[in-house]
Amino acid sequence: MKAVQIVKPNQLEVIDIEKPVIDPKNNVLVKMTAAGICGSDVGIYHGTNAAATYPRIIGHEMVGVVAEVGDNVSSLKIGDRIIINQVTSCGHCYPCSKNRGNVCDNLKVRGVHIDGGYREYIAVPESDCYLLPDSLSDQDAVMIEPTTIAVQACSRAQLEFQDTVMIIGAGALGSSMLRIVNLYSPRKIIVVDIDEPKLEAALQNGATDVINSKTEDVVTRAKELTDGYGPTVVIDCACFHGSFLTACKAAGNASRVITMGFSIAPDEINQFVITSKELDVRGSRLQNHRFQTVIDLINKGKIDLNGSISHTFKLTDAQAAFDFNDTHDPSIRKIALLND
């Protein structure tokens, strides 16, 4: 069967590998139908993802259909449409003992540390499979994964309706974040970006205010928009040089600042800005069993992921898909690789 492997940075190959067989642990064989291209996949392809190891079959937004089940499988049957959890954890380390397997000491993320979903078939444990809503196509279902990332961040922020929220970045992650932040009906949602069309879209999708950080001072404007106080929650979905300090400066006393970036470039910050306001600075990584939460939100009609995918390519045309993604064509929202 075919799989898409990043042999080393900037070298993508469609390879032939053995079709996996199920065993008592990986007891569900999934025929992949759709897989998203995420910023982190692009990072692994271009060699800028610090977590990645090579060679690697990438892809962590993994949608498929159950093709075979082991004797010990009780909740799934052949033909079920599912999305696969990308996080695998050991179950016996300190974070796992605190039910935080997404930061397991022995964390293995499919498509990053272990092989992922850009392939025709994958064998995974039953417990990592989540049934898809009937209302969602396989290609649009890949967006469930980015949405889980946003749910995780809002949970880390302990978001409440009294909050005033500032989201830095209106790209793919920032848009998913806006969609989930909206569900909490906070008093304000301020979105920051440098791209006017993206800010326009944010206003249409529930942002109460926007700040163009190219032309406006973010800290000053954020305070103005929050009666001089500063947002009570700042979520940094952009992670550019200086964004962390900006987030901490803008945040009001006793606020929460959520970091999501993976940059290892140093960024200057001082302790006073955190201590003096007793900020809670919290990282949010991947997601911790959030798939069912997102699927429930879809089934209840609280969020609609239909039409999320702007472009599709055949799995075996992955090179063309990544090349097209590199053009940064403004029409690109989300690309999915399809296997039929």
Pick one of 7, 21, 51, 90: the residue that binds Zn ion (CB under 5 A): 90
Closest approach of Zn ion to the CB of residue 92, in Å: 6
Q: How far is the CB of 114 from Zn ion (least distance, A)?
A: 14
Binding site partner of 15, from Zn ion, Mn ion, none, Cβ cut-off 5-8 A by kind: none
The pair phi, psi for residue 81, each rounded to 5°, is -90, 130
Binder of residue 90, out of Mn ion, Zn ion, none (CB less than 5 to 8 A by kind)? Zn ion
Question: Which token pair is 127?
Answer: 């417990």
- Picked from Zn ion, Mn ion, none, the partner binding residue 38 (CB below 5 to 8 A depending on kind) is Mn ion
Part in contact with Mn ion (CB under 5 A); list of ranges 26-34, 37-45, 135-143, 243-251: 37-45
Q: What is the DSSP annotation of 223-262?
A: HHTTTTS--SEEEESS--TTHHHHHHHHSPTT-EEEE---
Find the residue with minimal CB distance to Mn ion.
Answer: 38
Site string for Zn ion, 219-258 (x = CB under 5 A): ----------------------------------------
Are residues 110 and 117 in contact, defined by beta-carbon separation less than 8 angstroms?
yes
Please, what sign has the CA dihedral across residues 29, 34, 39, 44? Answer: positive
Residue 218 makes CB contacts below 8 A (sequence gap 6+) with: 168, 192, 211, 246, 250
From Zn ion, Mn ion, none, which one binds at residue 93 (CB under 5 to 8 Å depending on kind)?
Zn ion
Within 13 Å, how many C-alpha atoms sit on residue 111's CB side? 27
CA distance 158 to 145: 20
Beta carbons of 282 and 157 less than 8 angstroms apart:
yes
The listed partner (Mn ion, Zn ion, none) that binds 42, CB under 5 to 8 Å by sort, is none
Nearer to Mn ion, 116 or 231 (CB): 116
DSSP, collapsed to helix, strand or coil, labels residue 336 as strand
What residue 181 binds from Zn ion, Mn ion, none (CB within 5 to 8 A, per partner kind)?
none
Extract the runs of DSSP E, i.e. beta strands, from 267-315: 280-283, 311-314
By beta-carbon proximity to Mn ion, the closer residue of 38 and 104 is 38
Sole window of 10-18, 71-79, 101-109, 250-258 interacting with Zn ion (rule: CB under 5 A): 101-109
Per CB under 5 A, contacts with Zn ion among 137-196 are: none
**Residue in 3, 6, 38, 112 binding Mn ion, rule: CB under 5 A:** 38
What is the closest distance, in whole angstroms, from the C-beta atom of residue 96 to Zn ion in the complex? 3
Contact of residue 21 among Mn ion, Zn ion, none (CB under 5-8 Å per partner type): none
How many angstroms from the chain centroid is the CA of residue 103? 15
Residue 142 in the binding site for Mn ion (CB under 5 A):
no
Nearer to Zn ion, 95 or 261 (CB): 95
Residues lying near Mn ion in the complex (CB under 5 A) are found at 38
Residues lying near Zn ion in the complex (CB under 5 A) are found at 89-90, 93, 96, 104
